Amino acid sequence: MRSVCLKQPGDIAIIDVPMQRREPGGVLIEVRSVGICGSDIGAYKGVNPLVSYPRVIGHEIAGEVAEVADDETEFRVGDRVVIEPYVYCGKCHPCSIGHTNCCENLAVRGVHTEGGMAEYISHPRHLLHRVPDGIPWRLAPLAEPLVIAMHAIRQAEVEAGQHVVVTGAGQIGLLAAQYALTLGAVPIVIDPIAERLTLARSLGVAYTFDPMETDAVAGILSITEGRMAEAVVECSGSAHAIRGAVGYVSYAGHIALVGWPKGEVPMPTALFTKKELTVRGSRNSVGQFPESLRLIAAGRVRVEPLLSKTVSLAETPAIVADIAAHPEKYLKVNCVL
C-alpha cells in the first residue's frame, strides 16, 4: 500500500509499504481523509521535538472500517469512523487520574508511531468514533483539531457571558473561538494576519485585533469595561502572544497554553501572583470526540470555511513542502483518498 513518509526532516515522499494488517485489539480502517496539521509541518521542518524518523505522518484520520475481530460487536465493516490518535498506556499516574491526554507513555499516531497518511491503518477499537452521516469525508478529520480547541477552552474554564481572548487565528484558534460562542462566551481574536481576522468575523466573532496595528490591551479594556478577559486561550505558540496573555487576562483569570513555543519564553511571574492567575497547559484532549462530531454535524461549529484546499495522497508531499514554505497561504489542507 502507499503511504506518505518523512524519511528525515525536509525529505517527504510517497513510498510503498507492506499492506497493513489488523492488529490485536484493533480495527483495520481504509483511510478516506487525513488532515495536514501544523504539527505535521513541524515534523517536516524538523522542529517538532516529539517526532522520530522515518515516520508516516498524519494524526487527523477518518476512514471506513475494513476488517474487525470475529467477536467485535460495536463496529462493522463499512462503518464511518474517526480515530482518536492519542494511544495511552492506562497505567501511569496521569492515566490513573483520567488524564490520558498527557499519558507519560503517550503514543500519538503520526508523531510517535506511524500515522494515517496511508491507504490503511489499524487502530485500537476503543479509540474510534462513529462519524455522523451528514459530515463528508473531506471534513471529518477536523473533529480532531476541534477536540484540541475544546479542551483548551475547558482548561481555561470559559463560561457563558465571559470574555475569552484567543491568540492565534489558525485552525485551533478559529475552532476555539467558535466553541466559545457555542458556550455563550464572547471571543476576542488576536492575530497579525488580516484575512484570518476577516474569517473569524465571518464565523461570528464580534471582536478581532491585529496586535501589530492596534493596542490590543486598550481594546480589550474597552470591550470588557475595564475588567480585561476572564480567560485567554493561547493558540499561536508565539512568544509575543504568550507574554501578551498575562496583559490580556483579568485578575483571577485563567490562561490555557495550547500553542507550542519554539523555545523558552520569559514570563513576569510576579503578575501571576498579583492577579492570582490560573495558568494551565492544554495538550491533546480527553473524552471530547463525540461532542466534537455532534457540533460539526449540527453546523454549530463550522469547519468548511477553514478548509483551504483538498489534495490527493499523490499530491500530499508537494503540498506539505509548500505549506512549510508559505504557511500564510493555507489555513487547513486535507488529503482525501
Is residue 306 part of the contact set for Zn ion (CB under 5 A)? no
Contact stretch for Zn ion (CB under 5 A) within 74-82, 99-107, 150-158, 182-190: 99-107
Neighbours of 151 (CB within 10 A): 23
Residues β-bridged to residue 36: 333
37 is a contact residue toward Zn ion (CB under 5 A): yes
105 or 222: CB nearest Zn ion? 105
What is the size of the binding site for Zn ion (CB under 5 A)? 6
Cβ neighbours of 305 (radius 10 Å): 13
* Least separation in angstroms between CB 120 and Zn ion: 20
Spatial neighbors of 220 by CB under 8 A, at least 6 apart, are 163, 165, 188, 209, 228, 229, 248
89 binds Zn ion (CB under 5 A): yes
State whether residue 294 is helix, strand or coil: helix
Q: And the C-alpha cell for 89?
A: 498506556
Using CB under 5 A as the binding rule, whether residue 103 contacts Zn ion is answered as: yes
Among 1, 92, 271, 311, binds Zn ion (CB under 5 A): 92
Residues 6 or more apart whose Cβ sits within 8 Å of residue 42 = 48, 51, 260
Give the residue with the Cβ less far from Zn ion, 8 or 105: 105
| Smallest separation, CB 123 to Zn ion (Å) | 16
CB 90 → Zn ion: shortest distance, Å?
Answer: 6
CA distance 68 to 79: 11
Q: Among 62, 68, 95, 172, which residue interacts with Zn ion (rule: CB under 5 A)?
A: 95
DSSP 251-279: EEEEEEE-S--SS-----HHHHHHHT-EE
Minimum gap (Å) between residue 230 Cβ and Zn ion = 27
Choice between 135 and 286, CB closer to Zn ion: 286
- 89 versus 298: smaller Cβ distance to Zn ion: 89
Q: Which of 146, 153, 137 is nearest to 34 (CA)?
A: 137
Instruction: Identify the bridge partners of residue 163 per DSSP, sorted by sequence position.
Output: 186
Task: Output the smallest distance, CB 279 to Zn ion, in A.
Answer: 23
In the complex with Zn ion, the residue whose CB is nearer, 88 or 137, is 88
**Shortest Å, Cβ 99 to Zn ion:** 9
**Contact residues for Zn ion, defined by CB under 5 A:** 37, 88-89, 92, 95, 103
